């Protein structure tokens, strides 16, 4: 891990259709840090992630990604240096695993017509197939793949251009327990082989955090409730405040567990 700054949000506000979505967001991510953005539904997590991915611009404040400020840079060029894993990847064509991964070279959902990947891209795709446990599935097609296989293929796709920043937007969506655990093991392995890679993972389930998570930010009503080292932020007190409900947090064997506490009124339907 180095002190190289990968991402910085300063005093960011975001307003959509006269509604204040985010207020005063500050966040700095350095190389090798693995952040989790956690909060209730509608708290603003995905909006923050969209700015980290140079998809949306702030209404007020500034966003610097890889040393360049949004609004003063070619966004299309900047996005080529950001890996983005979205489990709702809008692909319906029967592309093979290898073809899906190779679309990471062009940043498109489908293969571009008359486009041929260069030798370096093909070699890197093969390396990622091995690294992410997809060997033997190269010819499997998207419609026939399991959600877990799709998730690993999307990580490989995002990593094809060797980005310094990887964004994971609720990556465990649609996964059963076994597939989720396999996916998290994949993310942990990725952090071991790419120690300088900065990652930001959005979720509202603490059980979906990989063991390699280093930092966390709790988002509540579009504002930062708390941010810092994960073990100091993901506590019973702070998480309960963020979700406005008593939630007991445990940290065992590198993983977090959350259990909602039921009071007497809840028990008797009061």
| pTM of the entire predicted model | 0.87
CATH architecture assigned to 5-81+163-267 = 3-Layer(aba) Sandwich (3.40)
Alpha-carbon distance of 250 to 235, in angstroms, equals 8
What's the mean per-residue pLDDT of the chain? 90
Task: Dump pLDDT digits (tens) for 121-162.
Answer: 999 999 999 888 888 888 889 999 988 888 889 989 999 988
* Sign of the CA dihedral running 28, 81, 160, 100: positive
- Our CA angle for 127, 130, 136, nearest 5°, is 125
* Sign of the CA dihedral running 194, 200, 202, 207: positive
Q: How many CA atoms lie within 13 A of 64 on its CB side?
A: 15
Say what the pLDDT of residue 267 is: 41
Alpha-carbon distance of 196 to 176, in angstroms, equals 30
Say what the pLDDT of residue 269 is: 41
Domain edges within the chain: 5-81+163-267, 90-162
* Sign of the CA dihedral running 62, 7, 34, 57: positive
């Amino acid at each position: 891990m180095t002190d190289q700054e990968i991402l910085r949000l300063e005093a960011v506000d975001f307003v959509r259709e006269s509604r204040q979505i985010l207020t005063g967001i500050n966040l700095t991510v350095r190389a090798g840090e693995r952040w989790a953005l956690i909060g209730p539904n509608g708290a603003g997590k995905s909006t923050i992630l969209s700015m980290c991915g140079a998809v949306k611009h702030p209404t007020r404040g500034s966003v610097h990604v890889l040393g360049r400020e949004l609004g003063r840079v070619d966004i299309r060029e900047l996005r080529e240096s950001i890996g983005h894993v979205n489990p709702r990847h809008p692909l319906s064509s029967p592309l093979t695993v290898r073809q899906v991964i190779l679309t990471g070279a062009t940043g498109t959902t489908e293969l571009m017509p008359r486009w041929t990947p260069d030798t370096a891209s093909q070699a890197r795709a093969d390396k990622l197939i091995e690294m992410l446990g997809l060997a033997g599935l190269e010819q499997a097609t998207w419609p026939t793949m399991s959600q877990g296989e799709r998730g690993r293929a999307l990580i490989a796709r995002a990593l094809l251009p060797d980005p310094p920043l990887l964004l994971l937007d609720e990556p465990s969506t649609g996964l059963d327990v076994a597939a989720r655990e396999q996916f998290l093991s994949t993310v942990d392995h990725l952090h071991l082989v790419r120690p300088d890679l900065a990652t930001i993972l959005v979720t509202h389930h603490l059980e979906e955090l990989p063991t390699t998570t280093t930092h966390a930010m709790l988002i509540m009503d579009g504002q930062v409730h708390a941010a810092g080292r994960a073990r100091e932020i993901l506590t019973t007190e702070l998480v309960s405040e963020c979700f406005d409900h008593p939630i007991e947090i445990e940290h065992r064997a590198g993983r977090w567990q959350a259990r909602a506490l039921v009071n007497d009124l809840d028990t008797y339907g009061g």
